[in-house]
Amino acid sequence: MSSVQNIEALNKENEELRKENAELNYLLEIKEEALLDAQKAVERMTEMKSKLEDQLYAFEQMQLHLEDQQRKTEGLSKREASLEEEVISSISMEKSYYELLDELNSMKAALSDANDKLEEIPLLYQERSKLKSRISALESDLGFALSRNSLYNS
């Protein structure tokens, strides 16, 4: 194989590596966008968690209130109507609680997926570094071959 063929082969390999590097950069951008989406999801999850905690606190407060009302209304003729209203309210709050709990679990799953995506990013950076090193080595080899070729042609 002649040095011109070697140079052409190196140029072709260098071009392929550049394309591969561009593809990896594109994938990296996609992963970074996914990371941003994941971070937004984490923020939303944190907000939802805060809302859930607030509603849990309100639920606990309502439960305390219900207990107080039950003690106050014992023996009164309106006890049954009052308890019925409080039970309906508790059921509604419990339904809200379970809906929020489902949302929290969904957000946890989204966070887990986001963390999985985050774990891929260092591998992409590592591959990118390897490709950059390989491109540099090929460019050096190409420069050396061109110099040597010009020396032989002179």
* Domain 3-153 homologous superfamily, CATH: Helix Hairpins (1.10.287.620)
pLDDT digits (tens, 9 = 90+) for 20-62: 999 999 999 999 999 999 999 989 999 999 999 999 899 899 9
CB 18 within 8 A of CB 66: no
Ordered DSSP codes for 16-30: HHHHHHHHHHHHHHH
pTM over 0.75: no
What is the token pair recorded at 92? 């509604």
Q: CA 92, CA 62: separation in Å to the nearest integer?
A: 12
Question: 108: left (phi > 0), else alpha (psi -120 to 50), else beta?
Answer: alpha
pLDDT digits (tens, 9 = 90+) for 111-135: 898 888 888 888 888 998 998 999 9
**Residue spans per domain, the chain:** 3-153
State whether the Cα torsion 47-53-56-61 is positive or negative: negative
Separation CA 154–CA 138 (nearest Å): 24
Contact between residue 48 and residue 102 where contact means Cβ atoms under 8 Å apart: no
What residue type is assigned to position 119 of the chain? E
**What would the pLDDT profile of 99-113 be if each residue is shown by its tens digit?**
989 998 999 998 898
